[in-house]
Structure 1
């Protein structure tokens, strides 16, 4: 669909599964050579490399902790050594955990902030340096969440990290707009990925999750990959600093309460 992407090179962090995996395959179908960054899913990353190469493009799998700048520099350098350059950076790596805020440890808070916000900044900064050095009109795509907009009880650390990604994206986009480096953000809603598997473990759970979305279904990762392909292409060349919310209308709700947790709070209130 996007002929200008053919022959370009993309790095995708957290690329072995979920949205990262779907984006890698979509890019490969567009003729993009893909570098899959993974943290611990080596087998999945290697299987994905075989799928991508079968689509007629080249691919690498490189292990790196996205919160470690030295390891991320290795990821970039290995990419440049193999391909000569890269043109698209997708900061997709992220984690979440369900913890009531009054019991959340500082270590738990820091871990999510480090991966989701610090790691995304490191990826952005290294890509910006590369694009500036080569005078590329590069594209940086950050994967945020609908929870940069919607508060989420038990996920204060996650929501804070994604809210940070939104404003960081806007700040970097404004800073580098004059040199035509674009920085955009995708905010997915309910997506059928491994990170959300616990929410869909039974048919009843999946049905409830589907019905919670105004459009009536939880999306597959491919639907986010489609947005990532558009934002990497010249079809979006006048778009920067924007968040594309792909959530089936979820953010249109005025409230995003977890009613099962309200019962616990009611018990607490009764004791006051």
Structure 2
């Protein structure tokens, strides 16, 4: 056995990850890593001591539209990122269909927290990565608005504001009771904006990406990810009626490629090539 994926209830992550580390088995652990900070650091230290690869399942980094957005940001297409926003609304029970319901996501002793550590973890990680700067200060409000009384989780809704070391700001809003599964990410720079959004009709893995930029590009100047895109659809307009500030509007439609498959492929590649995982 060379590697293991730990996708059990959150309360089991620490002990299972440490057992894998002791056996010299590389670990991909689902987020949240654990139900307390101490347990998470125990995993980090245990894997480091064992000399194995440790990766956390922050799969939103592997959605292809988010990788596109990251490359555009790094190439300066929208200038300096000043503000970012992520919205993630979902209702886990609704996705399980006819299979037996599991309660570990709804019990505090098994999950730790709900909106913050489960849904919110994706948004916080994604925005920090896209902005490209660590968080310096964070404030938030977590509320229990819709959870039934017999559930022991503390929150089902959270609002988070983060100040990054670069001077950028980002905001996270998420809940665990929305009947409409909505995930959107927006990046606002001093020279343009990048937006991606999904709903019940568009899976978040393949949500379209819209780029609004003040910069003038010709075909050869475009970033590789746009020029080499499988289904290129570029729309140029000097004076868009509804977007008068932006000189260039580029919608991008990502190919249907599983972010989970991309994440696992990255994990395996890190093991084979002795590289550090992205997250």
TM-score (norm 1): 0.33
Looking at secondary structure, tell me which structure has more helix per residue: 1
Q: Which structure has the larger Rg over C-alpha atoms?
A: 2
Of Structure 1 and Structure 2, the greater strand share is in 2
